[in-house]
Amino acid sequence: MKKIILLIQFISSIAYSQFHEISVFGTVSDSTGNSEISYANIKIAGAIHGTTTDVKGNFYLVIEKLPATLIVSHVGYQNFYLKISEKTKFPVHIKLKSKITELTGVNVTAGKVEKILEKRPYDVWDYEIYEDKLLLLCFDITTRLVLSDFNGDTVCSVKVTKPEMLYKDCLGNVHLLTKDSAYQIFYDSKQIILLYASEIYSFIKTMKNCVFELNGKLYFKEYSRYEQQLNYYYFDETYNKPDNFRTILNTHNLSIINSLKYIPNEKCKYIDEVLFFQKQFFEDSVYCPLIKLKDSIYLFNFIEHRIECYDSDGRPIENKFIDIDFHKKDIRKKTILTDDASGKAYLWNIKQSISTINRIDIKTGKLKETIKIPGYTQLDKIRIYDNNLFFMYRDISNVYHINYGYKKVYKMKIPG
């Protein structure tokens, strides 16, 4: 529990260095009909603080440092960025533009795989989903951060020095990690800006335990008892303290581990062999992912063979614990993926280096259609957003191609 408190303090220190509260209030509405937009998300760039509009489109938010940039988002609307430079006593009226999907003469076939930035001689080191765009860490002559849309058209780019990787935290912020520091990446609708440098060791040590934020609560995970016990906590800003959410214990594995600990003294010389067996026999840790889909929480409890459903406040939903069996063959080769835009969950399965994706019916616990990725083995870093599947792959099929040996990001449209 002490680690969770330290984590909250660390996340807060990333966002703010001063504490002079400024209140901002106003409305969010549609730009065409002036109708109020309910439950629009309003975030402060680089902060854990945020809010949502009420049913009438009203909002109230406290900013602790100026200048600050508000990011206003809602499904079906383009993101809106508002820079606050000084205190104001007047309401702010924000109008969001609808997202317009233009249909071209090209028919998109489900399962068709396309390269992102195919014509650019970039070797992609890493990538992440940034809002409704792709953020790529690339190398040609220099190392660059490239922001592109899902069709591979470059929005903007910036040179970076000595990067290691990209990291997406539990609040949805993307960070550039170097050997020494972590920088939050921010796009202000014109350029990419690196914010809030943090010492890399402290950043990784603390942020890796944060899972997600929902309804003013931050959820964390922590392992204990030879990583056979998984503890989920949440921090409620209202009460300013962490509290236990759910604990899962693999009693079978733990009993075997405990029996291996009591080895007679005369057999101590074999302890290395025993520890090696233990590492090979068990998974690295209990795998029971906690995910957020829209305004609900789902715990994939693979120990007790069920999906547990909770509301936005973390309360269990009655009669919503669903039995499952799709995980029983070999859970070590399966990963749960989420599509934050569509609110869907998927199972990523790897068998003999071939990847397949199955949509999970949250209501029944059954697997739906199987989505195969033919011709691509040993994929890296699969992400799903708005029914688009992305992955990294190093193409060595054509030695004469300009991009031979380069790692690229690929996109595949999956059934909606």
Kindly report, residue by residue over 296-315, the tens digit of the pLDDT: 999 999 999 999 999 988 99
207, 170 Cβ separation under 8 angstroms: yes
Residue pLDDT, tens place only, 160-174: 999 999 999 988 889
370, 355 Cβ separation under 8 angstroms: no
Residue pLDDT, tens place only, 19-59: 456 888 889 998 887 788 887 888 887 666 678 888 888 88
Asked if residue 250 has pLDDT above 60, the reply is: yes
Query: What is the mean predicted confidence (pLDDT) over 77-87?
Result: 82
Residue pLDDT, tens place only, 172-189: 889 999 999 999 998 888
Domain residue spans of the chain = 2-96
200, 180 Cβ separation under 8 angstroms: yes
Note the pLDDT of residue 107.
31
Note the pLDDT of residue 320.
84
Global pTM value: 0.76
**What are the φ/ψ torsions at residue 269 (nearest 5 degrees)?**
-65, -15
Note the pLDDT of residue 165.
94
Note the pLDDT of residue 365.
93
Asked if residue 220 has pLDDT above 70, the reply is: yes
d(CA 415, CA 412) in angstroms, rounded, equals: 10
Query: What is the mean predicted confidence (pLDDT) over 113-138?
Result: 85
State the number of CA atoms in the 13 A half-sphere of 249 facing the CB.
Answer: 6
CATH topology of domain 2-96: Immunoglobulin-like (2.60.40)
The mean of the pLDDT values for the chain is 80
Radius of gyration of the chain (CA): 23
